[in-house]
Amino acid sequence: MNSTFLGESSHNFPARSTLFAWFVVLSLSVLSPTAQAQSVCLPMPRLLTTMPMGGSSGTQVDVTITGENIEGANAMLFNHPGLTALPKLDANSQPVPNTFTVAISKECPTGVYESRVVSKLGISSSRVFSVDTLPEVQQTPNTSLAKSMELGVNSICNAVMTAKSVDHYSFQAKKNQRIVVFCSARGIDSKLDPVVIIADESGRDLVAERRGDILDFTAKSDGQHIIKVHELTFKGGPAFFYRLYLQDIGIDSAAPQFASTKTVSSFSWPPKGFVANTFIAESEPNNLGSQSQKISLPCDIAGAFFPAADVDTFEFTATKGDVWWVEVASERLGRPTDPSILVQHVSVENGIEKLTDVAEFSDIASPMKPSSNGYAYDGPPYDGGSTDILSKLEIKHDGIHRLQLRDLFGGTRVDTRNVYRMVFRRAAPDFALAAWGLHMELRNGDRNALSKPLALRCGSTVALEVVAVRRDGFNGDIQLELQGLPDGVSAQGLKIPAGKSRGIMLITANQDAPPCISKLSFHGKSSIEGEDVTRPVHMAQMAWPIVDAWGEIPSPRLMDDIMLSVSNSEYAPISIAVQEKTVIEGIVGEKLKIPLVHTKRLDFSGSVLQLKALGDGFEQIPRFDVSLDAATSEATVDLAALKTLPGEYNLAFYGSAVVKYKPKPDAAPRDVAEIVITEPISIRVKPSEKK
Amino acid sequence: MGVRMELNPPITPPPTRLAILKAASMVRTFPQISGVSFQLARQQTQAESSSHDTQAGSLCHLRVVLSLLLVLFGCCRVLGEHPERRVSLVNDVVPVLTKAGCNAGTCHAKAGNGQNGFQLSLLGFEPKEDFDHLLKEGRGRRISLASPEASLMLQKASGEMPHGGGVRLPSDSEGYALLRDWIRQGAFYDGDSAPKLVSIEIQPKRATIQPNGQLQISAFANYSDDSQRDVTRLALYESNEKSMAEVSEFGLVKILDIPGKVAVMVRYQGSVAVFNASVPQGAPVESVPPSKNFVDDLLFANLKELGIPPSPLCDDSTFIRRAALDIAGRLPTVEESQRLLTSQDSNKRAYYIDSLLQNPEYADYFANKWTAMLKNRRDDASDITSNFAFYSWVRDGLLANKPYDQMVRELLAATGTVMGNPPVAWYKRVKEPKQQLEDVAQLFLGVRMQCAQCHHHPFEKWSQDDYYSLAAFFSQVGRKPTSTRGEDMIFHKRGVAGLANIKTGTVLKPAALGDTINSIAADEDPRLKLADWMASPTNPFFAKAVVNRYWKHFFRRGLIDPEDDIRDTNPPTNPELLAALEKHFIESGFDLKELVRVIANSNAYQLSSVPNDFNAADQQNYSRFYFRRLPAEVLLDAIDDLAGSQTDFPNLPPGTRAIALPDNSYNNGSPFLKVFGRPENESVCECERVQSSSLAQSLHLMNAGDIKAKLATANGRSDRLSQTDKPLEERIQELYHVAFSREPSANEMSFSMEYLVTNKAEPVSKERFQDLIWALINTKEFLFNH
């Protein structure tokens, strides 16, 4: 599945020159994180910071941007029509570099949005842009108590943390005034793990919040108070930006919720047809069996893991042979919980209640085994699973059943916000889909490549790995489909086969594709109980390129949209495609020869590219070498060995190579590791005529 | 209790055994032999028949024959004499071996293979194993039934053959005779039939003994058959304070000249008892400082009882420096000193204590103390996030004065991820149930359970079952991987908690120390039950352990010392005071700040460290303040305060104080912290912090580059004082106020003036100020909290 450069088994050893080139690359990587960041994958446009990171609805704000490979960016795009941007012009009507004037319409709701810029390499990766209703300010130097920046209550400050520093803000509060301070950071793509402290006017700490949560504070006296903000481990720099909210609220008001990005696991919630406002409320006390809350199935229950070590017990009657599906959402609602269910059958023997275990449920398994965060990837660095529950309950005996729902992480925590939804339903087969850029299995390597925009070079083919969480026993094929492709761009899905959880989407920009930007619509399709069903594919991406995932926790999230661009400012180093772009035909049991044509545009380090197959039923094709110096090559598919049945199939081959990349024509080439993927290959396997 | 017996009295078989013997074939075969001898032969036969070792079986068969011959010979010899008492392996032989030190951990009970291939169970806790080692190993040379004196065991122990352990049992000793008789009688195993040791008693249990006096104590063993035996000569004795009392091999207690309370631990075959001696100074105690709270009541009452007059109260300068160093881990500021010194308010000391408790540095300082014991250690660069999160959790809890029982509960029963719930980080460091139990017991209960993992605790009542029952509370800790290297999500893994005793294989359910816990359902997290038990007002360990630990923090010595070794055989020096502190702490709702407040506000804490004519020798009754060197971090901060410098720590904001360092990693870059003993957070014991003084420390303070750099810091105090227009006297006063919170004496002032002013026409150079600061740093008054 994944290509490997070092650590391959000896029988499949890459060419010595390739190894040497990799050794050079990796040695440089060890010596210099910067060098490593530059050496893995071709340059991609990445928007990394904006200042400010948001604005107030109904205002205009000048936004300064920084990023990688976005020099000369001339457009800034958002995923909401209420957000528009134009390059900022100076007094001479010339664009101010890296600055845009963003207009936020009054109608633009409070929330977080995707913002991107367009440069010569195409559309950049996204950075969150927040919209709120409170007035906003930007930080002035405030790294000491003496330099505290005064902040008005009910305002937002956009700021950047300096390494080894503590930012100080002052505000006035009245005795018994309830103040909420919130430092929005991880939820807006920042690397900051914020610590927020409220101190008295002389800087003596009063209360602290270190988990990225709100700090709910009631002033004990009139006067000036200090807010201190720092990174948990005192890291800092441009990536450590934050928005500090200072709000007063009523004594009895619920604490406000602040918008943030969604975790990858949340792609599987809610199920189709879920109605948020229709539910049965959990009724305390229900910790003990004798206090069980009586329910009838099906049902939809809303409750909370509160107080500490809370157990919510429900009782229902069921009939032997009944099959129910139970789904619990809490972690996918953004709460740090781990729901667990125990179902027991209740009987009475000699006047004594007897409980017999029927089922235990916990966790939604990741569709693919995620990387164990070792030195090299051994799976995708995204976990599509959840600590929530999605399980099948089979009733084995008639009668009363008792269900205990608890939070395995809730033994000592007291937090009313740890809510859940528990849905009992008859089987409603369905699926949910997520996708991310295909990664390389490179030792401690391509983490910086995780933050990948779909900015295609002409002649390139990129691959997205698509995973499915199957709901309620759905087991069918899932076809993948991209819509909204611009001219010159084609896409081919390699389906998620029946019973499996992984597929691939291949996107190819022709060599002569015109430059463009397009919003895509990505779906999976299947037939469920005779009906065609279409479900969205949610794109996931790392918020940041990460050089060292051991030292820095990767921060994946879901995107709200999928944007694609094609650029002809640079071309793919090599394109490999079928010689005649037609369906290759073969006979069952025979060996199928696939002629490939190479269009090489850059030099490579080494002369051999090792390829392996993508596509269900073909991934067992042995790896094979093709010459990077040759204009053509041939792939062989042993249909007998693969036991391929008659039918039509799609597949592709991919591998990794070290490109001699020149950022400018007159620059010295440098080694860059890159995934090389062939254009999709369609084959038709016909029955044998020997019958 | 039964009739007291002489040493080694004859044993009469109980009627039930006689009934069995009457039915035995040997009774029919040798009807003329006494019942005692028949019993021995029968037991031997039973013992051998149960053996699965064929080699040992043949040896035993031979031994049966020999035994019978010996028995016949013996019977013939004793016909017409008193019947010979049967020597018991369990109740005679093993105690002799223990008394002789043969089965000490450093000798033949050494882990592994004993000494020179000869293994005995530690302190004779496993007599059956000892029997096997003696009889079935060493090619049968250790015991010679035919010629007992030729037994290797006796020859080595008596020195007739070379023995690495020297002469342990001279051939004319009682112990030698006993072992020889046991062999001569057939070297039988009687572990199943011998009366079981139930307890030991000592007489007297307590006494008042004058300095340099002595007293013989006696030890008696009580057995399951209600018999009692004088074991004074076989018991082991150990003083808990050797500078106060020595104990002879046979229980003669010799008191030295230090007044106070001393205990002698008496051990005999797994049972322990304690003798408490009160050693009065006997001096007239005409007055004591007025009592401010129950601490004073009980502490001064004890001094009166012992006749130790306390030192007077310390002056305000000493108090403010002492309180600031002990509560906030820093020197008082000049402003604080001057405010207190000039205040006429009678409650000014109490106000100052309260202000220190409100200061975040209180939380920093005590978080530093707790996180060291909770092993917040950086082994890998990626540990930084969890270490900072964990440190901050402790620090914030102390700042908010979260009840101690709640903090411990959140730690013990932590679930989730480190970032979501920082006490989970403890489970990153302490991974196995056994390690978890040992750390929890030692840190939060003051009980050292490590010994009981492999054998019965030699100084305590705790058995292996107690050990594994306690560890069983942690048996259902589940782990799930996270995306963060080396970190797991922690949760309660459903299932009935239990852990196997590695020796017996028996799976034990959770049980608290000396207490029972209701059955814990599979769904319940046993750790919450443990936390419930610990926080119970009737828990005999939990509150006691922490008040004793905090007492030590303020008084240098715990009421029980070491502070994490609470056991009957290590009694408190003032049990009434310890009990009152415990009660107060529980009634306060486990309020740590209140605990500090009640201790620091007592006049007992505010006594002068200067001894009077009578209390210089006192080391445990707190009749004066026991001065101590400043801990490494506090001293480093104090030097920075005085020199006007700051120490930069990697990746921390400039100005971060050493007492606020989150983990041990900063020791690597700081020779100062290493030399002055900052712990590496590897142990749950506070003793990991080195508080002793050393030549290296003296040399460091005098010569080390980092000290010189601090003195010469640009814009530091020497720079500033050399450039100011203030009168020189004021500048000298400033130095003394920062360093000692007091005015310089006339002598100090004149000496300082003389040194600083080399040429009246020129301003004082910064180098001269550096020298003066250097001199102040190197005074004991600066280096010690006094």
Of A294-303, A619-628, B72-81, B115-124, which range is least confident? B72-81
Look over chain A and give the mean of its residue pLDDT values, rounded to a whole number: 90
* C-alpha B537, offset from chain centre: 23
A372 to B481: CB separation less than 8 angstroms, yes or no:
yes
According to DSSP, the residues that pair with B279 across neighbouring strands are B260
d(CA B754, CA B732): 12
**Has residue B68 got a pLDDT over 70?**
no
B480 interaction partners in chain A (CB closer than 8 Å): 363
- Provide the terminal-to-terminal Cα distance of chain B, rounded to the nearest Å: 53
Q: What is the pLDDT of residue B588?
A: 98
Q: Does B496 touch chain A (CB under 8 A)?
A: no
Look over chain B and give the mean of its residue pLDDT values, rounded to a whole number: 87
Q: How confident is the model at residue B80 (pLDDT cuts 50, 70, 90)?
A: very low
Radius of gyration of chain B (CA): 32
A387 interaction partners in chain B (CB closer than 8 Å): 489
Q: What is the pLDDT of residue B176?
A: 93
Of A563 and A377, the one with more pLDDT: A563
Overall average pLDDT of the A256-285 stretch: 94
**Has residue A33 got a pLDDT over 80?**
no
What are the Cα distances from residue A333, in Å, to A49, A268, A272, B556? 27, 11, 16, 52
Of A644-658, B61-75, B682-696, which range is least confident? B61-75
∠ CA A419-A424-A430 to the nearest 5 degrees? 100
What are the Cα distances from residue A424, in Å, to A269, A286, A326, A472, A529? 14, 18, 5, 11, 20
Q: How confident is the model at residue A555 (pLDDT cuts 50, 70, 90)?
A: confident
Where does A428-570 sit in CATH, by number? 2.60.40.10
Cβ contact A537:A523 at 8 Å: yes
β-strand B252-255 against B214-216: which pairing, if any?
antiparallel
Q: What percent of chain B has pLDDT over 70?
A: 89
Question: To the nearest whole angstrom, how far is the Cα of B415 from the nearest Cα of chain A?
Answer: 5
DSSP A416: T
What are the Cα distances from residue A105, in Å, to A102, A132, B568? 10, 11, 76
Of A405 and A23, the one with more pLDDT: A405
For residue A233, give the nearest of B384, B478, B485 by CB distance: B384
ipTM over 0.85: yes
Q: How confident is the model at residue B180 (pLDDT cuts 50, 70, 90)?
A: very high
Q: For A489-532, what is each residue's pLDDT tens digit?
A: 999 999 999 999 999 999 999 999 999 999 999 999 999 999 99
d(CA A98, CA A75): 10
Q: What is the pLDDT of residue B457?
A: 66
∠ CA B70-B75-B79 to the nearest 5 degrees? 155
DSSP A12: G
**Has residue A417 got a pLDDT over 50?**
yes
Q: What is the pLDDT of residue B517?
A: 86
Q: For B326-364, what is each residue's pLDDT tens digit?
A: 999 999 999 999 999 999 999 999 999 999 999 999 999
Q: How confident is the model at residue A441 (pLDDT cuts 50, 70, 90)?
A: low
Q: What percent of chain A has pLDDT over 90?
A: 81
Domain boundaries, given as residue ranges, for chain B: 15-184, 197-279, 361-555, 717-785
CB atoms within 10 A of CB B154: 21
3-state SS, residue A222: coil
Q: How confident is the model at residue B101 (pLDDT cuts 50, 70, 90)?
A: confident
Overall average pLDDT of the B539-565 stretch: 96
Match 């010799």 to its residue by tokens.
B254
List Cβ neighbours of B156 (8 Å cut-off, separation of 6 or more): B162, B163, B165
CB atoms within 10 A of CB A341: 20
B654 to A164: CB separation less than 8 angstroms, yes or no:
yes
β-strand B206-208 against B228-230: which pairing, if any?
unpaired
From the list B530, B524, B497, the residue with the least C-alpha distance to B412 is B530
d(CA B420, CA A553): 14
Q: What is the pLDDT of residue A673?
A: 85
Amino acid identity, position B453: Q
Hey, which CATH number is domain A573-691, 3.30.70.120, 3.20.20.140, 2.60.40.10, 3.60.21.10? 2.60.40.10
**Has residue B119 got a pLDDT over 50?**
yes
d(CA A327, CA A306): 19
Q: Write down the number of H helices and E strands in chain B.
A: 31, 17
∠ CA A534-A540-A545 to the nearest 5 degrees? 160
A404 to B409: CB separation less than 8 angstroms, yes or no:
no
Q: Write down the number of H helices and E strands in chain A.
A: 3, 49
A234 to B652: CB separation less than 8 angstroms, yes or no:
yes
Same fold yes or no, A46-132 and A136-248:
no
Alpha helix segments (H runs only) across B503-555: 526-534, 542-555
Q: Does B485 touch chain A (CB under 8 A)?
A: yes
β-strand A624-627 against A608-614: which pairing, if any?
antiparallel
From the list B689, B678, B609, B605, the residue with the least C-alpha distance to B637 is B678
Q: Can you read off the two tokens belonging to residue B18?
A: 């006689």
**Has residue B64 got a pLDDT over 70?**
no
B651 to A234: CB separation less than 8 angstroms, yes or no:
yes
B483 to A412: CB separation less than 8 angstroms, yes or no:
no
Q: What is the pLDDT of residue B614?
A: 93
Q: Does A221 touch chain B (CB under 8 A)?
A: no
B415 to A230: CB separation less than 8 angstroms, yes or no:
no
**Has residue B325 got a pLDDT over 50?**
yes
Overall average pLDDT of the B600-606 stretch: 98
Q: Is the dihedral of CA B502, B508, B513, B514 positive or negative?
A: negative
Highest mean pLDDT among A277-281, A540-544, B370-374: B370-374
Q: How confident is the model at residue B115 (pLDDT cuts 50, 70, 90)?
A: confident
Topology (CATH level 3) of domain A46-132? Immunoglobulin-like (2.60.40)
Q: What is the pLDDT of residue A375?
A: 61
Q: For B143-156, what is each residue's pLDDT tens digit?
A: 888 889 999 989 98
Chosen for mutation from A165, A198, A409 (greatest number of chain B CBs closer than 10 Å) is A409
**What residues of chain B, 347 to 366, have a C-beta less than 8 Å from chain A?**
358-360, 363
A411 interaction partners in chain B (CB closer than 8 Å): 413-415, 492, 525, 527-528
**What residues of chain B, 632 to 671, have a C-beta less than 8 Å from chain A?**
651-654
β-strand A280-281 against A194-199: which pairing, if any?
unpaired
β-strand B4-5 against A632-638: which pairing, if any?
unpaired
Amino acid identity, position A22: W
Hey, which CATH number is domain A273-426, 3.40.50.2300, 3.20.20.70, 3.40.50.1400, 2.60.120.380? 2.60.120.380
Where does B197-279 sit in CATH, by number? 2.60.40.1080
Search chain A and give the residue with CA nearest B652: A164
Cβ contact A52:A158 at 8 Å: yes
Q: Does A498 touch chain B (CB under 8 A)?
A: no
DSSP string, B582-598: HHHHHHTTS-HHHHHHH
Cβ contact B571:B274 at 8 Å: yes
3-state SS, residue B193: coil
List Cβ neighbours of A84 (8 Å cut-off, separation of 6 or more): A78, A102, A103
Domain boundaries, given as residue ranges, for chain A: 46-132, 136-248, 273-426, 428-570, 573-691
Q: How confident is the model at residue A3 (pLDDT cuts 50, 70, 90)?
A: very low
According to DSSP, the residues that pair with B619 across neighbouring strands are none
Give, for A436, the enclosing helix (H) or strand (E). Answer: strand A430-437
Cβ contact A425:A469 at 8 Å: no
B416 interaction partners in chain A (CB closer than 8 Å): 336, 338, 409, 413
A409 to B399: CB separation less than 8 angstroms, yes or no:
no
Overall average pLDDT of the B584-608 stretch: 98
**Has residue A24 got a pLDDT over 90?**
no
Chosen for mutation from B483, B493, B527, B652 (greatest number of chain A CBs closer than 10 Å) is B483
Topology (CATH level 3) of domain A136-248? Jelly Rolls (2.60.120)
